[in-house]
Amino acid sequence: MRTPDLIRFARDAATGNPLRTFFLVLAMAIGVAAVVLLTALGDGARRYVLNQFSSIGSNLVIVLPGRSQTGGFNPGNAITSTPRDLTIDDAQALQRASAVHRVAPLAVGTSEISVGGKLREVMLAGTTAEFIEVRRLALAQGRFLPQGDWRRGASEAVIGAKIRDEMFARDEALGQLVRIGDRRFRIVGVLASTGQGLGMNTDELVIVPVSLAQAMFNSNTLFRILVEASSRDSIDLAKAQLSEIIRLRHEGEQDVTIITQDAVLATFDRLLGTMTIAVAGIAAISLAVAGILVMNVMLVSVTQRTAEIGLLKALGATGATIRNAFLTEAAMLSVAGALLGFVFGQAGAAIIRQMYPEFPAFPPDWAVLAGLGTALGTGILFGVLPARRAARLDPVQSLSKR
Amino acid sequence: MSMALIELSGIERVFRLGDSEVHALRHLDVCIAAGEYVAVMGPSGSGKSTLLNLIGLLDRPNAGTYRLEGCDVTTLSAEEQAHLRSERIGFVFQSFHLVPRLTAAENIALPMTLAGVAPLRRAERVARALRDYGLEQRANHRPDQLSGGQRQRVAIARATIMQPALILADEPTGNLDRSTGEEVMRLLEGLNDQGVTLIVVTHDGSLGARARRQLLMADGALEHDRWRSPQGLTDVCVLPT
Ligand SMILES: Nc1ncnc2c1ncn2[C@@H]1O[C@H](COP(=O)(O)OP(=O)(O)O)[C@@H](O)[C@H]1O
Ligand SMILES: [Mg+2]
């Protein structure tokens, strides 16, 4: 049988029973669409996280108290050593490193802000003028904390966009006096809104000079020290220098963890990449189910078309011809389902991107190829058994079936 | 003088149903020359269809040899038998056996499609067949849009489209009224007039009587081998003594 005839014959056989064909194609399409859509979500989450991290600041190196293995979070290590605290002196010492461009100490705690009878709990960050540069933040109004001695800060505060809206509504916030904890501060700046992001949400943050924050928390420790390396290439050098400076200051003990954004990114990348693969695997199960469905439907089709198979044999069709006809039909149904599913999946991903523009829900190429490949593979694989059964039917008995 | 087209000797066909055995054909020796018109007759269950299926290479005997055009076909592989069916044998069935989703023209073309004949050649031959069998107006009709007689005409056109040497018809008029049956028989006989060997199974005595030779079956054995008007056809076959 010629290939075009084979394809036409299989197509006619498939369209001869539209309901059966519709459900088969639909099952296959759902499987492929699931792979495309779910991996689009998984990979979208990965890209979203990566984007969020890059927006935190470039060339960022973070020093935090306590020893931990690079890149991993090991609870064992966290417990065994009692780490020395990081102090403002430590942070100032880090400025000496040649590969370091800027340093911003960070002390964090919760406090209350009140103005004009309104009271609200807030996240209070004590830092210095460098913070806005290191974290790549923007101001909506006013100015940031001024440069100056880290140990003496004026009673000035910069507030996040959401705090401003909630505490001042339509009133002017700049220049207002507010009470934070038991101290009075003057608002000098409002941060530009960044929306919900990873890490600290700066919209609900109140920033004050680090010395005042420490006084309010009644502590001289730092939550962490943010360091901006002088260039992307000098991140590793900066890391080594920071580590050496801290070791010297902490009596030869390496009791801090220095993480780079790259390492964090790599960890998240791996984590979310693995998740995407897992999700793809789960979605692929639906393809296997679709494959089994193909087999069942084709087996039923062989039974229903027994008389026709007997006739084809009487008319001179070889077993191979009949096997090919049924295999072609299974393959065609799978291809149709796979293509339809591809379109569904891409459309779904496009709708998600439309609804959440900041979420890059693009299915990765490997997942699309794997989805289409698995669909074809299972369709044909599960088509083999029915096709062979059809090819082996006894012509005389088949012809007597109705 | 025509040569023997079909030589059956010592053919046995036994069906096993659980413990019991049915001897559908017992020690059958038949010889049919090319161009003959043979009616196979006998009561229901006497083995007529079984014999026809064997001759048509749809079934294999349990014992005996079958020589088609001089060569032993009982030992051929399924594949080789399929090729012989495709090129040398045409079937006509009682219940027409048309593919319901295909048009009359497509049904007629089916043996050529299966054999891989080029589309152009196919179209040409189908057009001629449609004309010969008066089906031009029905070319694009599906079987359920055709009358019984038209369906059997399509089936006959299909059986002849590969220009076989042998046409096997198993009660071709069984599902037709008398006059349509007559018409179908005339078509088949017309093919025989052109030299095609024709074997028709029937249990209708008057239809069987039209054939020049009648094989009368009874309980799987050949009871009678009768020539309406002996024309010396026997001498091509070596009859068993
Ligand atoms: N596939 C089969 N299995 C079992 N018995 C069969 C089968 N085919 C035919 N027979 C038996 O063989 C005998 C001959 O059948 P058949 O050739 O169909 O008779 P006819 O066509 O003359 O009516 C019958 O007794 C029938 O029951
Ligand atoms: Mg019969």
Structural domain span for residue B118? 35-58+78-227
Query: What are A167-175's contacts with CB under 8 Å, separation 24+?
Result: A167/A113, A167/A115, A167/A116, A167/A118, A167/A120, A168/A115, A173/A141, A174/A141, A174/A142
As a whole number of angstroms, the distance between CA B105 and CA B118 comes to: 15
Alpha carbon nearest to ligand 1 atom 18, residue: B49
Do the beta carbons of residue A141 and residue A189 sit within 8 Å?
yes
Residues in A touching B86 (Cβ below 8 Å): 315-317
Any B CB within 8 A of A13 CB: yes
Q: Flag whether B237 is in a domain.
A: no
Structure tokens at A184: 């009075």
Whether A396 has a pLDDT exceeding 90, the answer reads yes
Helix (H) or strand (E) run with residue A391 in it: helix A365-392
Helix (H) or strand (E) run with residue B80 in it: helix B78-88
Question: How is B113-173 classified by DSSP, letter by letter?
Answer: HHHT--HHHHHHHHHHHHHHTT-GGGTT--GGGS-HHHHHHHHHHHHHTT--SEEEEESTT
Q: What is the mean pLDDT of chain A?
A: 87
Tens digit of each residue's pLDDT (9 = 90 or more) over B110-119? 999 999 999 9
Q: Identify which ligand lies nearest to the alpha carbon of B43.
A: 1
For residue B79, give how far its alpha carbon lies from the nearest alpha carbon of chain A (Å). 6
3-state secondary structure of A60: strand
As a whole number of angstroms, the distance between CA A102 and CA A131 comes to: 9
Is residue A230 classed exposed, middle or buried when 0-12, 13-18 and 19+ CB atoms within 10 A define those classes?
middle
3-state secondary structure of A188: strand
Whether B167 has a pLDDT exceeding 60, the answer reads yes
ipTM: 0.92
Q: Flag whether B68 is in a domain.
A: no
Residues in A touching B118 (Cβ below 8 Å): 2
* Region B111-133 average pLDDT: 96
Q: Which atom of ligand 1 is nearest to the CA of B170?
A: 21
Cβ contact, residue pair B113, A311, below 8 Å: no
pLDDT the model gives residue A85: 86
Sheet with strand B4-17: strands edge to edge? B20-33, B4-17, B63-68, B71-72
Band the pLDDT of B235: cuts 50, 70, 90. Answer: very low
Whether B41 has a pLDDT exceeding 80, the answer reads yes
Sheet with strand B89-92: strands edge to edge? B89-92, B166-170, B197-201, B37-41, B213-218, B221-227
Tens digit of each residue's pLDDT (9 = 90 or more) over A359-374? 899 999 988 998 888 8
Whether A298 has a pLDDT exceeding 90, the answer reads no
Unique residue bearing structure tokens 């299926």: B53
Ligand 1, CB cutoff 6 Å, lining residues: A 397; B 15, 17, 22, 24, 42, 44-50
Q: Identify which ligand lies nearest to the alpha carbon of B217.
A: 1
Q: Flag whether B155 is in a domain.
A: yes
Tens digit of each residue's pLDDT (9 = 90 or more) over A47-94? 888 777 766 666 888 898 887 644 445 444 444 456 678 999 999 999
Taking Cα atoms as reference points, which of A211, A208, A219 lies closest to residue A125? A208
Among B11, B12, B15, B25, the mutation site with the greatest number of ligand 1 atoms within 8 A of its Cβ is B15
For residue B41, give how far its alpha carbon lies from the nearest alpha carbon of chain A (Å). 20
Residues in A touching B100 (Cβ below 8 Å): 16
pLDDT the model gives residue A262: 74
Alpha carbon nearest to ligand 1 atom 5, residue: B15
Any B CB within 8 A of A325 CB: no
Structure tokens at A69: 């293995």
- CATH for B127: 3.40.50.300
Q: Are strands B89-92 and B37-41 parallel, antiparallel or unpaired?
A: unpaired
Q: In this structure, is the dihedral angle defined by the CA atoms of residues A146, A147, A153 and A159, taken in order, positive or negative? A: positive
CA angle A46, A50, A53 (to 5 degrees): 140
Q: Flag whether B72 is in a domain.
A: no
3-state secondary structure of A171: coil
Unique residue bearing structure tokens 């100032």: A92
Question: How is A153-207 classified by DSSP, letter by letter?
Answer: --SEEEE-HHHHHHHHTTS--TT-EEEETTEEEEEEEEEPP--S-SSS-GGGEEE
Q: Flag whether B20 is in a domain.
A: no
Unique residue bearing structure tokens 């009878």: A117
Q: Flag whether B146 is in a domain.
A: yes
Provide φ and ψ at A352, rounded to 5°: -65, -40
Unique residue bearing structure tokens 């048509």: B56
Q: Flag whether B92 is in a domain.
A: yes
Question: How is B36-63 classified by DSSP, letter by letter?
Answer: -EEEEE-STTSSHHHHHHHHTTSS--SE
Q: What is the mean pLDDT of chain B?
A: 91
Quote the number of domains for chain B. Answer: 1
Q: Flag whether B3 is in a domain.
A: no
Tens digit of each residue's pLDDT (9 = 90 or more) over B7-30? 999 999 999 988 999 999 999 999
Evaluate if pTM is beyond 0.80.
no
3-state secondary structure of B101: coil
As a whole number of angstroms, the distance between CA B168 and CA B67 comes to: 16
Tens digit of each residue's pLDDT (9 = 90 or more) over A97-152? 999 999 999 999 999 999 988 899 999 999 999 999 888 888 999 999 999 899 98
Alpha carbon nearest to ligand 1 atom 7, residue: B15
Amino acid at A330: A
